Amino acid sequence: MMRARLLKLLIYAFALLICASAAQAEFKRDYTLGKKAFEDGDYKEAISKFQEAIQDNPKSEERVKIYGMRYDSYIPHYFLGEAYFKLNDCSSAMAAWNKALELGVVKSQDEYASMQQNMAACKTEVVDVSKIAQQATTEINALQSANRSFAKLQNENALKQEWASRWQPELSRNEQLAQSLQQRLEKATADADADAIDAIINEAKSAAAALVGTEKLAQAQVKAIRAQGAEAERVARENAHRDLQNATRLARAAETYPDANDQMKKLLAELQRQISVGEGLGDTASSANLKEQTQVIDNVLRRYRLAVQDWQAQKQSIAERTPPPDLKRIAEAYFAGDYESAVKLASPDDFSKDRAKIQALLFRAAANYNLYVRSGEQQQAKLNQVQNDIRAIKKMNSGFSPYIAAFSPRFLALFKQTG
């Protein structure tokens, strides 16, 4: 039993020895045939044989026994590179030579000087960077162009609020990148570093594409904001146009008198003129223009109504119905829209009669209310003062009602609601 097992081991070891000897013989034969083909100028055949030799024995050796007493260095990667070089395939040649350098043996051989010379020539050919450097310049220019295009958006009103925080950092980053890539390209071109230039090309392309995408996103936001603004203006314009129509309707309905005085006639003529101006505002008029014209018509109408009141009062007993001069100044300031002056002038304590006191309180309340509305209804103290004056009026005369033609509907509603 032991003898049989020992016999099997001996047979296995002998087989391995035969295979190893055969493989050793194969790489030597292929290496020799490869060098012969190389000398004969059959470079394709040489490449085939050197590859077969490397497959059987990839390690270089300074001295191997070829046959009999003939010894030679075994540097198949070097000769493989030389064969590729002869076929003008610098890329494959450089790969083979770099492997030879990695194994190290070739550095101690006479062929090393030739390999260095050929590698230098191959690098000059492979790393002829003028074309790819030009491509890199084109891509950097494209990035700079994308930067300039994106920079124009900083003048867009729709993006002003968020430009510094959201969009400017993106622009600054790409502007700095373009400068950095240009500097790196100059160095890579000087070093004939094709890999570095390829990296610059890819980086510039990627950055430009990303920035174009960002610009499209910003433009979409501008479009959305403009659409929102346009819709808001449309609604505001509709409301303003409706208010102007209401003001025009009230102005047209203003009562006229055959025996009106000159002031009433002038104000009525002015009112008709302002109605014409309002009707002449076309579809392109903004909501602000419509609101402004509405206010003008309202002011002229109020002045006309005040003139009518004065004219009617003059027809009554001067002693009983003519308002005191101080009260008249209050009223004039109010209807002129000078509400601050009306508030300052309207001190009920300056009048002895309750009727005059009530009118002073009324004008002060109405003036303060207009100031409250003008502030965007933010000044609560003014609204409190308005309500206090209304209560004081009702305390003096519970049945008193303001003349509706002289005051705004909102104030009249507040007057009625305040208890």
Instruction: Return d(Cα 292, Cα 286) in angstroms, integer.
Output: 10
Predicted pLDDT at 105? 85
- Would the pLDDT of 177 be above 90? yes
Bridge partners (DSSP) of residue 72 are: 64
Q: Look at the block and give the residue holding tokens 């867009």.
A: 156
Question: Phi/psi zone of residue 377: left (φ > 0), alpha (ψ -120 to 50 degrees), beta?
Answer: left
- Residue among 133, 112, 115, 119 at smallest CA distance from 91: 119
Instruction: Return d(Cα 131, Cα 122) in angstroms, integer.
Output: 17
Predicted pLDDT at 25? 72
Instruction: Work out the average pLDDT over 92-118.
Output: 88
Alpha helices in 192-286 (DSSP H): 194-252, 262-280
- Would the pLDDT of 52 be above 90? yes
* Predicted structure pTM score: 0.38
For residue range 134-157, list pLDDT tens digits in order: 899 999 999 999 999 989 988 888
For residue range 340-358, list pLDDT tens digits in order: 998 898 888 888 888 888 9
| Residue 34 CB-density burial (10 A; 0-12 exposed, 13-18 middle, 19+ buried) | buried
Classify domain 14-126 by CATH number: 1.25.40.10
- Would the pLDDT of 121 be above 60? yes
Task: Please tell me which residue, 258 or 283, carries the higher pLDDT value.
Answer: 258
For residue range 376-397, list pLDDT tens digits in order: 888 898 889 989 998 998 888 8
Domains of the chain, by residue range, sit at 14-126, 130-229, 254-316, 323-419
Which run of H or of E encompasses 61? strand 61-67
Predicted pLDDT at 19? 41
Instruction: Return d(Cα 102, Cα 24) in angstroms, integer.
Output: 22
- Would the pLDDT of 319 be above 60? no
For residue range 71-87, list pLDDT tens digits in order: 888 889 999 999 999 99
DSSP state of 62: E
Predicted pLDDT at 206? 93
Predicted pLDDT at 317? 52
For residue range 221-268, list pLDDT tens digits in order: 888 888 888 888 888 888 988 998 899 999 898 888 888 899 989 999
Phi, psi of 67, rounded to the nearest 5 degrees: -165, 155
Q: Look at the block and give the residue holding tokens 């009048």.
A: 351
Token output for 286: 């903004």
Bridge partners (DSSP) of residue 74 are: 61
Instruction: Work out the average pLDDT over 406-417.
Output: 89
Measure CA of the first residue to CA of the last residue in the chain; give whole Å. Answer: 126
Phi, psi of 64, rounded to the nearest 5 degrees: -130, 150
Percent of the chain whose pLDDT exceeds 90: 32
- Would the pLDDT of 4 be above 60? no
Cα dihedral 202, 205, 211, 212 sign: negative
Residues in contact with 356: Cβ distance below 8 Å, sequence separation at least 6, in sequence order:
323, 324, 327
Give one DSSP letter per residue of 64-124, joined into a string.
Answer: EEEETTEEEEE-HHHHHHHHHHHTT-HHHHHHHHHHHHHH-GGGGSTHHHHHHHHHHHHHH
